[in-house]
Structure 1
């Protein structure tokens, strides 16, 4: 996905969520990534993300669960579109270097 399109989609989703509920001032954001090709380097992306202070978890796919994914979680940060997008863009580019594509995000208010 092109970054401009991804940014517009993120903005739209956040507007829809904000229309349904109050957004927290601070949150932990979890970004999901899926391997774009069989050569995707799970270990390298994990190491790179952890070196930048993120937590990383791997989830195996199953017959009913879909594809395996890697989830990168931020520390608690100020929450709003600008901070969300700054994190998403940075991690999307980092993921792409290692063969991964962004596949969604979620947040938990603090």
Structure 2
């Protein structure tokens, strides 16, 4: 896991999105994680994330080219790169404990 590279990639994508559209002041952020090892602990990661206040959903792959995914969602946060990275870094480190790696993120305004 190279957090420095991951942070740089996240910042680049965030800045690109920010330059193309106006971002909401607050948003919920979805982080996707996939398994990094055959014995990944889906239940353990889910329980740890939920205990930390996140919402967790599991998604099965639609076809053989995709992977099963665990999606973790924050509550509404002020949408800045710094806040996004703080959440991503915390969840990435937690994910590693349970055999997962980060696989992407998105955000939405809560209605």
Report the TM-score, using the length of structure 2 for normalisation: 0.95
Corresponding residue for 1:36? 36
Corresponding residue for 2:72? 72
Corresponding residue for 2:106? 106
Q: Deviations over 1:19-57 (max 9, x none)?
A: 110111100000000000111000000000000110000
Gaps of at least 5 residues in structure 1 are none
Number of residue pairs matched by the alignment: 110
Report the TM-score, using the length of structure 1 for normalisation: 0.96
Divergent runs of 4+, >4 A: none
Deviation at 1:65? 6.0
Counterpart-to-counterpart distance in 2, 1:66 and 1:103: 12
Deviation at 1:64? 5.3
